[in-house]
Amino acid sequence: MKAISLELYKLRHKHLFLMVTLFLTVEIAWAFMATSMSISHNPDNAGWEPLIAMLSSMNGLFLPILTAICVSRICDMEHKGNTWKLLLTVSIRRSTLYAAKYISTSIIMLVACLLQVLAITAFGIVNGFEQPVPLLLLIRFFIGTVLTNMIIIALQQWVSMAVKNQAFALSLGMVGGFIGMAADLLPLGVQRIFVWSYYTGLSPITQSYTNEKMQFIVRDLNSLLPMMVVLIAAGIGIYLAGCVHVSRQEV
Amino acid sequence: MNQIISTHNLSKRYGDTYRVKSVNLTVNEGDIYGFLGPNGAGKSTTLKMILGLARPTDGKVTVFGKDLGANRRLILNQTGSLIESPSYYGHLTGLENMRVIQRLRDVPDKNVTEALKIVRLEKQKDKKVGQYSLGMKQRLGIAMALLSFPKLLVLDEPTNGLDPAGIGEIRELIKSLPQRYEMTVLISSHLLSEIEQMATSVGIINDGIMMFQGSMEVLKNKNRPTIMVKTQNNKLAQELLFQKGFSPTQHGDFLVFESLTDGQVAQANRNLVSANIDVLRIEEHKKNLESIFLDITGKERNLL
C-alpha cells in the first residue's frame, strides 16, 4: 500500500489525471457524435447496444494509446531522474516497485473505464432511450475493457521499464491502437493473437451485416469466459516475464 | 576497532574483462575512508557491489559484520548513499523529493528539515528540482543520503559539479559527520587533493586492482624527502659513504639518500670533501602526494 500511495504521490504536477480526462473526453465526444448521427439517419439505432458497440470499437483505437502514455509517464520518471539506484538503495524491492507501478496505472485506467460507463449512461438518459439502463451489459462492457487494459498495461510496462527510450513504448501503443481499430477486419484466428483486439473481442455487443443492414447482437457470456481465462493467463505470463526481466537488469 | 565494511576478493567481470579484481577493502568504524582512483578505475562498480546494486562475479561483501547477500535490507536501512550522478524527480520540488525518501525510510519530519538545512537548501526547497543547478541537485542527493542519519554513508564523487565554495562546504560537512552523528563515511573521488583534506583512511584503486590501502598517515609518510648528491666520481663516493655508514643508491647522475637529517647531510659532505671528491650538487627532493598517487596508479594518466 505504501508503495502504491508513493507512486501516486510521485505523479504530482504531472497532470496525468487531467490528460486522461481530456483524452477520454475526445474519445467519448467522438463516439457520441457518431452515435447521434447514426440515430438521426436511422432512429432504430437509438438503443444501448449500438452505443456500447461504438465505444468498444473506439476503445480499440484510443485506449492502447492512452495506456501507453500513462504507463510511459509513470515509468519514465525513474529513467529520467536516474532514480532506480536511489530507490534500490533505500531497500525497496524491484518487484514491489514493479507491482506498485502496475497497480497505480491499473487504478488510473479503471477510473477511465468507470468514466466511460457513466458517460454512456448519461448519454442514453439524455437522449431518452426507451429501454432501461442495461446494468448487466454495462458491467460486462466495463469488465471486458478493464481486463484488456490490464493485459496491455502489463505489456507496456515491460517495454517502458526495460527500454529507457520511451519512443519504443509509445510506438508500440500506436501500433496497438491501429491493430485495435482494425481488429474486426482481420480473420478471427489472427485477431486473437493481438491483445489489442480484445476491446471489441470481449465487448458484450457484436455487430454483423445481414441484408446490408447492421445488426447488433448481444453475445452469450459463456462464450466469452474461456477467452477471458486465456487472456488472464497471458496477462499473468506477460507481467511475470516483465517483472523478472526488469529485476535482473543491472542499474 | 569495528569493521563497518569489509570485502573479500571482490571481483566484477563484464565479458572477458575484470572491472574490479580481488579487491579487499576495509572500512573501520568512525573512518572517513577516501576511495581514490582515476576515472574508470572501478570505484563506482565497487561501491555498487557494496550497496547490492551490482552482483559480484566473485568475492564477498560484509557490512556491519553481516553478509550483504543475506542481510541486504537490514544493511541498507542503516546506510545512506549517493552513487554517481544525483537521483531525483525533476517534476517534484526539493521538499517533495525529500518526502518520497522520507516515506520510504519512515523517518520524522524533523529529519527532512535538518537534512535540508545541513546542505543549505531550505530556501530552495519549494522549487522544482528540474530547475536546480547541478550543484544544488548534488546537495539534494547528499540530503537524501543523510535523511535517516544512517550509521554508514557511501558517497560516490559527491563534489562533482560543485563550485569551489560548494566543495569546501561539503568537505567540512563530511569531516564533521563522524563526530556529530557517529557516522562512518566511504567517499570516492578521482581528486587526491579533495580526499587528502578529509580522509582518515585511503584506498587507491587502479584498473580494478587495489594498489594501496592504509591510513592517511601511512600514505603521507611516503612523502619523505630524499637527498640527492652529485659528485665528480659517484662510484668512489658511494664506496666511501658505505664505509662511513651511509647507504646511498645510484640514480642516474646522483646518489640518492633516504631520510637524512641535516647533520647527516653535513657529515656526508665533509667525508666526501676530505677524501678529495668534489661535491657538485646537494638537492632535496620532496615527493608530493600527487606524485605518490601517480606512481601508484601508473604515472601516465591525466587525473585532474
Answer yes or no: do A86 and B72 touch at CB < 8 A: no
Q: Is B258 helix (H, G, I), strand (E, B) or coil?
A: strand
CA atoms of A248 and B38, how far apart (whole Å): 29
Structure confidence by residue, pLDDT tens digits, B21-40: 999 999 999 999 999 998 88
Q: Which residues of A touch B51 (CB under 8 A)?
A: 88-89
Give the full edge-to-edge strand order of the sheet including B226-231.
Answer: B249-251, B254-258, B226-231, B279-285
Residue of A nearest to B88 (CA): A81
E strands in chain B: 3-14, 17-23, 26-28, 32-36, 58-63, 66-67, 79-82, 152-156, 184-189, 201-206, 209-215, 226-231, 249-251, 254-258, 279-285
Average pLDDT over residues B81-95: 92
Say if residue A206 is exposed, middle or buried (CB neighbours under 10 Å; 0-12, 13-18, 19+). Answer: middle
Structure confidence by residue, pLDDT tens digits, B249-300: 888 889 998 878 889 999 999 999 999 999 999 998 877 777 777 777 775 4
Answer yes or no: do A13 and B81 touch at CB < 8 A: no
Residues B115/B121, Cβ–Cβ less than 8 Å: no
User: So what's the pLDDT on residue A212?
Assistant: 73
Grid coordinates representing B106 are 519512515
The DSSP 8-state label assigned to residue B277 in this structure reads: P
Count of A–B CB contacts within 8 Å?
73
CA atoms of A49 and A120, how far apart (whole Å): 11
Q: Which residues of A touch B73 (CB under 8 A)?
A: 91
Residue of B nearest to A94 (CA): B53
Structure confidence by residue, pLDDT tens digits, B54-78: 999 999 999 999 999 899 999 999 9
Amino acid at position B197, single letter: Q
Please give the backbone phi and psi of residue A211, each rounded to the nearest 5 degrees, phi first: 55, 45
- What is the value of pTM for the model shown? 0.84
Residues B198/B177, Cβ–Cβ less than 8 Å: no
Residue of B nearest to A83 (CA): B87
Among B20, B63, B92, B99, pick the best mutation site for testing chain A contact (most A Cβ within 10 A): B92
Answer yes or no: do A13 and B92 touch at CB < 8 A: yes
Residue of B nearest to A13 (CA): B91
Q: Mean pLDDT in chain B?
A: 89
Distance from CA of B130 to the nearest CA of A (A): 9
Residues A111/A18, Cβ–Cβ less than 8 Å: no
Distance from CA of A100 to the nearest CA of B (A): 13
User: So what's the pLDDT on residue B173?
Assistant: 87
CA atoms of B59 and A210, how far apart (whole Å): 73
User: So what's the pLDDT on residue B303?
Assistant: 43
Buried-exposed string A155-167: b where 16+ CB fall within 10 A, e elsewhere? bbbbbbbeeeebe
Of B76, B85, B105, the CB nearest to A82: B85
Chain A interface, Cβ < 8 Å to B: 2, 5-6, 9-10, 12-14, 77, 80-92, 250-251
Q: Which residues of A touch B77 (CB under 8 A)?
A: 91
Distance from CA of B76 to the nearest CA of A (A): 6
Which of the listed ranges A37-41, A140-144, B13-17, B178-182 does the model predict with the highest average pLDDT? A140-144
Answer yes or no: do B104 and A6 touch at CB < 8 A: yes
Of A81, A87, A91, the CB nearest to B77: A91
| Host H or E run for residue A198 | helix A198-201
User: So what's the pLDDT on residue B302?
Assistant: 46
CA atoms of B231 and B253, how far apart (whole Å): 8
Say if residue A100 is exposed, middle or buried (CB neighbours under 10 Å; 0-12, 13-18, 19+). Answer: buried
Share of chain B above pLDDT 70, in %: 97
Are β-strands A205-210 and B152-156 bridged in parallel, bridged antiparallel, or unpaired?
unpaired
Distance from CA of A107 to the nearest CA of B (A): 20
Grid coordinates representing A180 are 485495435
Of B53, B103, B105, the CB nearest to A88: B53
Q: Is B167 helix (H, G, I), strand (E, B) or coil?
A: helix
Chain B interface, Cβ < 8 Å to A: 48, 51-55, 72-73, 76-77, 79, 81, 83-92, 96, 99-101, 103-105, 128-129, 144
10-residue stretch averages of pLDDT, chain A, 251 residues long: 92 93 94 89 83 92 96 95 91 91 96 95 89 92 96 97 96 95 86 90 83 78 89 96 92 77
Answer yes or no: do B105 and A12 touch at CB < 8 A: no
Answer yes or no: do A2 and B83 touch at CB < 8 A: no
User: So what's the pLDDT on residue B203?
Assistant: 94
Of B81, B88, B128, the CB nearest to A89: B81
Structure confidence by residue, pLDDT tens digits, B125-157: 999 999 999 889 999 999 999 999 999 999 999
Q: Which residues of B touch A6 (CB under 8 A)?
A: 100, 103-104
Radius of gyration (C-alpha) of chain A in whole angstroms: 19
- Matching residue, cell 657538485: B280
Backbone CA torsion sign across A192, A194, A195, A198? negative
Which of the listed ranges A71-80, A209-218, B173-182, B192-201 does the model predict with the highest average pLDDT? A71-80
Answer yes or no: do B84 and A86 touch at CB < 8 A: no
Among A91, A94, A97, pick the best mutation site for testing chain B contact (most B Cβ within 10 A): A91
User: So what's the pLDDT on residue B1?
Assistant: 65
Distance from CA of A109 to the nearest CA of B (A): 22
CA atoms of B159 and B165, how far apart (whole Å): 11
What residues are paired with B81 via a beta bridge? B154
Are β-strands B201-206 and B209-215 bridged in parallel, bridged antiparallel, or unpaired?
antiparallel
